[in-house]
Structure 1
Amino acid sequence: MMMSPVISQEDIYRTLEQVMDPEIPVLSVIDLGMITDVEVTGPNSAHIKMVPTFAACPAISYIKDNIRTVVENALGIAVTVEIDKQVHWESNRMTAAAKEKLKNFGIAPPQTVEGEMQPEIMLNTPCPHCGSEHTYLRSPFGSTLCRAIHYCKSCGQVFEQFKPLE
């Protein structure tokens, strides 16, 4: 009798690296620090907890469904996905690799927040195109809730920044 292989937490985390953010397709839910818990609940089942980057993010249902579908299809197990209401997402949850991917994608990554978040942190945002610090905040509201719009005085580019959140 052939036994099916046991799925591990590591298998699930590795698979979650393939679940990309629908608004920033170069970042996975792992890069963004959206996964708060993975539990193997049986030989053919798992429970995943996630936290959205913004509570009002319009893509929450899509991301939950995508997590479930990708993991189920890749590993052949039943998956439930739950919003973790005990954890609040903050930009410090993003990996260093995620911040570099954002920059290469043309979006300024959020600065690291230490202590209480000060709004001034958004004023000094280096340009992801030329690296200049001669930029200014044009609008705290970008194309999505998690982004702000900046202008670079050196290269003349308008760019978005992923907002730092604490």
Structure 2
Amino acid sequence: MVTDTTDTTATTGTTGTVLEAELRRLAGSVPDPELPVLTLEELGVLRGVQILGPGRVEVELTPTYTGCPAIEAMASDIERVLHDHGIPEVSVVKVLSPAWSTDDISAEGRRKLAEFGIAPPRPGAVDGPVPLTLAVRCPHCGSTDTELLSRFSSTSCKALRRCTACREPFDHFKEL
């Protein structure tokens, strides 16, 4: 149970405190309600955790897109996890700027998506020109010979594709 708020002055070597880092780990471990193979940390929607006072914590979330219906479930799950670990007052706030991007998905998150059968979004360029990649790799057989079946799949952030090599359909997490 995370209840010792006297740790809040010990630094972690990064920004925040030891307790904030532990609370971030707990909040970040919550599975995404639409993609339960990913945690909120791996998805990149968890932006920050701050201790506001004894027993009071604020968690910042950025939705994958404005109006994302999963944000309410994410907030409820975070509140439950932190309450279960001894934090009586948890507020979850939406942060819209900077906007979430598929570049925010961690390398581990991309690996898990592919392992789960969802083609991960292609990483964006950090600096310089944007690379043009037209192919989407099949998460089942690895072929880049795939076709778009529908611009939308089970969620708005995914497209439905089919591999023409192995003939298996799959979701592709669209780049944003």
Question: What is the CA distance between 1:117 and its match in structure 2?
Answer: 7.1
Distance in 1 between residues matched to 2:67 and 2:55, nearest whole Å: 32
1:24 to 31, 35, 41: 35
Task: Tell me which stretches of 4 or more aligned residues in structure 1 moved more than 4 Å.
Answer: 115-118
1:79 to 73, 90, 101: 90
Secondary structure at 1:31 match in 2:
helix
In the alignment, what sits opposite 1:111? Answer: 122
In the alignment, what sits opposite 1:159? Answer: 170
Partner amino acid, structure 1, of 2:49: V
State the TM-score, normalizing by the size of structure 2.
0.84
Secondary structure at 1:112 match in 2:
coil
Per-residue CA deviation, residues 42-87 of structure 1 (Å, 9 max, x unaligned), is: 1211111100112132212111111111122124342100000222
Partner amino acid, structure 1, of 2:157: C
Secondary structure at 1:49 match in 2:
strand
Secondary structure at 1:30 match in 2:
helix
Question: What is the CA distance between 1:141 and its match in structure 2?
Answer: 1.2
Per-residue CA deviation, residues 21-48 of structure 1 (Å, 9 max, x unaligned), is: 1111110110011011211111211111
In the alignment, what sits opposite 1:5? Answer: 4
RMSD: 1.9
Identity of aligned residues (%): 34
Distance in 1 between residues matched to 2:82 and 2:54, nearest whole Å: 14
In the alignment, what sits opposite 2:136? Answer: 125
Secondary structure at 1:60 match in 2:
helix
Per-residue CA deviation, residues 91-138 of structure 1 (Å, 9 max, x unaligned), is: 0001000000001111000001226879x74x4110001111111222
Report if aligned partners of 2:57, 2:87 keep a CA contact under 8 Å in 1: no
Secondary structure at 1:67 match in 2:
helix
Partner amino acid, structure 2, of 1:11: E
Report if aligned partners of 1:49, 1:84 keep a CA contact under 8 Å in 2: yes
Partner amino acid, structure 2, of 1:18: S
1:95 aligns with 2:110: no
Gaps of 5+ in 2: 8-18
CA change 1:35–1:17 in 2 (3 A) is closer
1:145 aligns with 2:156: yes
CA change 1:68–1:130 in 2 (3 A) is same
Report if aligned partners of 1:12, 1:38 keep a CA contact under 8 Å in 2: yes
Q: What is the aligned length?
A: 160
Partner amino acid, structure 1, of 2:119: A
Secondary structure at 2:21 match in 1:
helix
State the TM-score, normalizing by the size of structure 1.
0.88
CA change 1:40–1:82 in 2 (3 A) is same
